[in-house]
Amino acid sequence: MPSRSRAALLLTLGLTLFPPPSTLAQTAPAAPPANAPYRNPKLSVDERVKDLLARMTLAEKIGQMTQAERGAVDRIPDDIRLDALGSILSGGGSAPRDNTPEGWADMVDRFQQQALQTRLGIPMLYGSDAVHGHNNVPGATLFPHNIGLGATRDPELVQRIGRATAEEVTATGVRWTFSPCLCVARDERWGRTYESFGSDPELPTLMTSIIQGYQGQLGQPGTILATAKHYLGDGGTAYGSSTTDTYLLDQGDTQLSEAELRRIHLPPFQAAVKAGVGSVMASFSSWNGTKLHGQKYLLTDLLKGELGFSGFVVSDWQGVDQIPGGYPVAVTTAINAGIDMVMVPNDYPRFIDTLTAAVNSGDVPMSRIDDAVTRILREKFRMGLFEHPMSDRSFLKTFGSPEHRALAREAVQKSLVLLKNDGNVLPLKPGARLLVAGSSANDVGRQAGGWTLSWQGQGGPVPGGTSILAGLQQVGGRTLTYVPVPAPGEARGYDAAVVVVGEPPYAEGKGDRAELDLSPDDQRAVRNACASAPCVVVTVSGRPLLLGDLKMNALVAAWLPGSEGAGVADVLYGKVPFTGRLPISWPRTLAQVTVHPEDPGYDPLYRYGFGLSTPKR
């Protein structure tokens, strides 16, 4: 328990037991009248913000700029009341003991009750990474990760996914998702490639339609605040430039001219601002050596000035701490650069004390604090948080619903890309005798990838999920033989072998790789199965993988399809045609990485935008 909070708690206890007659009245201004203008939904957002801001103490203003992790606050819920915290988040996998939709709603409502007991009763805003459905909560519908959605080239579908996700998020009391990632993934070795809609700005720009899905008519039932992240250039860092942990690319340095930075990485954020996105998350990465969290020209002059972004900028997880010069310098630099809310997220008393000292010393002007708080309050008023602060449990019926799972299955179908089909091995014949192999055929955790029930994700079953093998059995209409790594000749006698290869789940820099080969077991599975039967290789991965000299009749990229593995079977059996197109170039060799259409002599194994259609039977 942070020391400051313990002292605050003792003080509260003391004051509660023996309240000195006049001290309390002197230290905190009186509560505003119930009919204070900021409480009147008939007034404009700007009028309400102006009235409320004028009533706030410095402590209350800084409280609004503070976002704490639920685990840090859970120990002392009073801190929400004491520090008037503006926001609480669940990091990846950070869940209440009762990890059910109802348990989440109870947790968020409990925190909200604390916030509403503060002097001004400003509701807190609860955020979570719902990046491919409400992936922190068991039983949620898990949609394909963004790289697969980019392959669909269907912004209307992606908007519907945003809406469905918003409904499941709303059911749990959460009102803010740290999504979409509008990163433009330029190097397949980056661990966040799968969070990108594509390697060219056109697809992340096109898929900002998900913001409309999340936010809709913000404030209406089932709408949540979206986050355009990570601003700016997170997907363009130079290989080997990261100084974080053992990372190779993630949180590294984007070494580009301003013209190239604007050409490649800015368009999706321009589109997001135009779409009315309520928040933007700053990137951990740097631009030519300066941490984005301290980059005033990009955060303020460009994003808020030139692009006219009127929402608020939230830092990434302890992103402020990465600014060099010591914590006080880091806090002052970040706030003055344009960070409005700080995802501290654990030692928030230290942040509050440090920023308070910086304002009192004049290092951070009150005008900057007022601008940040204005931006935060504006979004809280816009989204109706003051009128509807508690969870809307009417959406619990949508959580993991058949309708949402059908939508996810449609997305899986449209995300598959047919790269090769020699001898028209595809589509498979219903009832065919198949040998199914590979590391990712019978593992929903691997097909869902990172950001699934935990930060990094994990192999194995996922509540409500259907594996690709189960999908093949359902759609193909027969029980199939599954051998992860068949022996030489073991596929002989089968109509075909389907080898589903892939990567274990990962997230962020922990997924950075120096090579992109299949695992030895998957390579053996492909060699042995494809040597003795017509074979289809399906890749379940967050990015293109290198296939070296492996031979196969057919090759399908399934990306990270999420919970609805039957969607893969629908297309393999020809129930639905292949329509997906590559959202990123597929390199021949590691030496080619990075490889883009604008490169001289562009010659990948499969080009950006490539994809075969299903042959007519």
| Residue of 200, 250, 316, 512 marked catalytic | 316
Q: How far is the CB of 610 from ligand GLC (least distance, A)?
A: 29
The smaller minimum CB distance to ligand GLC, of residues 344 and 428, is found at 344
Alpha carbon distance 150, 147 (integer Å): 5
Q: How far is the CB of 457 from ligand GLC (least distance, A)?
A: 13
In this structure, what DSSP letter does residue 124 have? Answer: P
The smaller minimum CB distance to ligand GLC, of residues 253 and 490, is found at 253
Residues 6 or more apart whose CB falls under 8 angstroms from that of 8 comprise 78, 79, 82, 83
The smaller minimum CB distance to ligand GLC, of residues 91 and 465, is found at 91
Q: How far is the CB of 249 from ligand GLC (least distance, A)?
A: 13
Contact 157, 410 (CB under 8 A): yes
* Dihedral of alpha carbons 179, 566, 535, 556, sign: negative
Contact 583, 543 (CB under 8 A): no
Integer CA distances (angstroms), 284 to 89, 372, 381, 472, 510, in order: 18, 20, 29, 41, 14
Alpha carbon distance 51, 122 (integer Å): 13
The smaller minimum CB distance to ligand GLC, of residues 70 and 404, is found at 70
The smaller minimum CB distance to ligand GLC, of residues 197 and 317, is found at 317
Closest residue (Cβ) to ligand GLC?
178
Q: How far is the CB of 48 from ligand GLC (least distance, A)?
A: 28
The two three-digit tokens of residue 419, written as one number: 């790269």
Q: How far is the CB of 178 from ligand GLC (least distance, A)?
A: 3
Contact 167, 395 (CB under 8 A): yes
Integer CA distances (angstroms), 272 to 179, 216, 245, 553, in order: 11, 13, 31, 41
The two three-digit tokens of residue 476, written as one number: 């193909």
CA atoms within 13 A on the CB side of 417: 29
* Dihedral of alpha carbons 509, 513, 517, 520, sign: negative
Q: How far is the CB of 234 from ligand GLC (least distance, A)?
A: 8
Q: How far is the CB of 341 from ligand GLC (least distance, A)?
A: 12
Alpha carbon distance 312, 447 (integer Å): 34
The smaller minimum CB distance to ligand GLC, of residues 91 and 148, is found at 91
Nearest CA to 557 out of 528, 453, 287, 571 is that of 571
Q: How many CB atoms lie within 10 A of CB 51?
A: 16
Residue 559: Cβ-neighbour burial (10 angstroms; 0-12, 13-18, 19+): buried
The smaller minimum CB distance to ligand GLC, of residues 136 and 300, is found at 136
Q: How far is the CB of 516 from ligand GLC (least distance, A)?
A: 22
| Residue of 508, 512, 522, 570 marked catalytic | 508
The smaller minimum CB distance to ligand GLC, of residues 317 and 381, is found at 317
The smaller minimum CB distance to ligand GLC, of residues 229 and 293, is found at 229
Per CB under 6 A, residues contacting ligand GLC are: 91-92, 129, 178, 229, 316-317, 508
Residue 173: Cβ-neighbour burial (10 angstroms; 0-12, 13-18, 19+): buried
Element (H, E) at 273: helix 267-274
Contact 467, 444 (CB under 8 A): yes
Q: How far is the CB of 343 from ligand GLC (least distance, A)?
A: 6
Element (H, E) at 3: helix 3-17
| Residue 79 bears catalytic tag | no
| Residue 200 bears catalytic tag | no
Nearest CA to 457 out of 608, 352, 560, 306 is that of 560
Positions marked catalytic: 316, 508
